[in-house]
Amino acid sequence: MTRVFHRQLHADYPVAVEGDGCYILDSTGKRYLDASGGAAVSCLGHSDPAVIEAITAQVRKLPFAHTGFFTNEPMEALAEALTDAAPGPLDHVYFVSGGSEAVEAALKMARQYFLEIGQPSRSRLIARRQSYHGNTLGALAAGGNQWRRAQFEPMLIEVSHVAPCYEYRDRRADETAEQYGARLAAELEAEILRLGPETVAAFIAEPVVGATAGALPPVPGYFRRIREVCDKYGVLLILDEVMCGMGRTGSLFAYEQEGIVPDLVTVAKGLGAGYQPIGAVLVHDRLYDAFRDGTGFFQHGHTYMGHATACAAALAVQHRLSEPGMMAEVQAKGAAVMDALRDRLGDHPHVGDIRGRGLFLGLELVADRVSRQPFDPAKRLHARLKKAALARGLMIYPMGGTIDGRTGDHALLAPPFILSEAQVGELVDKLAASLTDVFAEVA
Ligand code: PLP
């Protein structure tokens, strides 16, 4: 009998015992193609020799030194690598241990920034409905995922939510993509005005939405409009790249493709690529300077922040991601997976949309392609699909049509960047077969 308090208390989890490139092996020897990188984590697969070597060397030299006493070499080097790579004056990095911690730190940093610059009335946050920013209470309050939030209402902090950029469901037939993006930015502006601009600290959004919407990219120009609105009212723009950052969309940072510079960017998942738990917040110089010239202290901190071994792993991951041609490879492989999905599933009666960017791809499943009617959430289609895929030796990351009653079930794909051509075929074959299995049960 297990002593572990598992995620699902009645699930029968296979025991993962070994990683081999894009595969995880369980204790029976069964191989699973990891087409979701867990939850968009394992961008380099499960056995990268350079990352393993960096971790081993760091543990031998210095596993950990508390950042209340010391800085350390891998943390300094990682901060340099990230800030050199990030376009715009995002020249400082705050290290934490994961995505939720990164979001918490960013939210508190936004709040304290306004205290530092003498605007104490700015404490409110605006987020979007189709979003997930983490499971700690502050991050959960920011996210719009009703399934995750519902039983914890009322939230400790109140956050307003505006519409996500969800072209497949929300763009009207009589508007262009640009007009749609402008309409959404106008909605954000109206919300800022309703709350009172002098009370709003920040707007937070995922550039490409992951867990709640299945790799949902913005329409062109959307984030430029959003940036303009934020600037007009002195509101900070926090981009949550915990899932879509670190090369996943074909550029190291997803915001690079939007032609804007955010004030704060959160990253995690692909930062440590699963080899170590680590997250970070990249901070605009303007904010850093306000802290430096103000109290000189961010009222925050965690025991494991800047963990030397985690930073050494993430630095080795950065070296791999910055190898010449790596981002071009993500783009090319992303296009190959997209083409294969469209070829095989483009006419599937229950695949409503195939979308994404780079190697961050999603399918939205619908009961009816014409009306785009989602399946009844009670059918738990996403859970059936995950189970069917696992039975066939495929890891994908499906989520349900439980977000706000209008979203179809979807499946997120985020395979390692080392995916081979043969593995693209294996992925699509197994996914198509899993869908067949599921729709044989649920017609
Ligand atoms: N933000 C985004 C966009 C995420 O997708 C996630 C996790 O899926 C988080 C934050 C929370 O990250 P973590 O699970 O590492 O706390």
Residues 26 and 159 reside in one and the same domain: no
* Local confidence band at 437 (pLDDT 50, 70, 90 cut-offs): very high
For the chain, what is the mean pLDDT?
95
Chain segment 28-58, per-residue pLDDT in tens: 999 999 999 999 999 999 999 999 999 999 9
| Res 142 pLDDT > 90 | no
Per-residue pLDDT, averaged over 427-437, amounts to: 98
Q: What pairing do the DSSP bridges indicate for beta strands 394-395 and 31-34?
A: parallel
Which of 145, 240, 243 has most ligand 1 atoms within 8 Å of its beta carbon, as the pocket-test mutant? 243
| Res 401 pLDDT > 70 | no
| Res 400 pLDDT > 90 | no
Residue 402 confidence (pLDDT): 54
- Collect all residues with Cβ–Cβ distance below 8 Å to 436 and sequence separation of at least 6: none
* Local confidence band at 406 (pLDDT 50, 70, 90 cut-offs): low
Residue 334 confidence (pLDDT): 98
Distance CA 317, CA 269 (A): 11
User: Reading across the β-sheet that carries 394-395, which strands appear in turn?
Assistant: 16-20, 23-26, 31-34, 394-395
CATH number for the domain spanning 211: value is 3.40.640.10
C-alpha 40 to ligand 1 mean position (Å): 10
C-alpha 145 to ligand 1 mean position (Å): 12
| Res 404 pLDDT > 70 | no
C-alpha 99 to ligand 1 mean position (Å): 4
Residues 139 and 253 reside in one and the same domain: yes
Q: What pairing do the DSSP bridges indicate for beta strands 200-205 and 236-240?
A: parallel
Residues 92 and 169 reside in one and the same domain: yes
Domain ends where: 288, 322, 356? 322
User: Peptide bond preceding 154: is omega within 30 degrees of 0, i.e. cis?
Assistant: yes
Residue 405 confidence (pLDDT): 58
Residues 34 and 95 reside in one and the same domain: no
C-alpha 308 to ligand 1 mean position (Å): 22
Residue 48 confidence (pLDDT): 98
Share of the chain above pLDDT 90, in %: 89
| Res 201 pLDDT > 90 | yes
Chain segment 212-235, per-residue pLDDT in tens: 889 999 999 999 999 999 999 999
| Ligand 1 binding pocket, CB closer than 6 Å | 39, 98-100, 103, 132-134, 206, 210-211, 240, 242-243, 268
| Res 314 pLDDT > 90 | yes
Q: Which atom of ligand 1 is nearest to the CA of 206?
A: 3
The protein residue whose alpha carbon is closest to atom 15 in ligand 1 is 99
Of 89, 126, 88, which Cα lies nearest the Cα of 259? 88
**Domain ranges, residue 428:** 16-47+324-442
Q: Which residue would you say has higher pLDDT here, 57 or 152?
A: 57
C-alpha 38 to ligand 1 mean position (Å): 12
Residues 291 and 222 reside in one and the same domain: yes
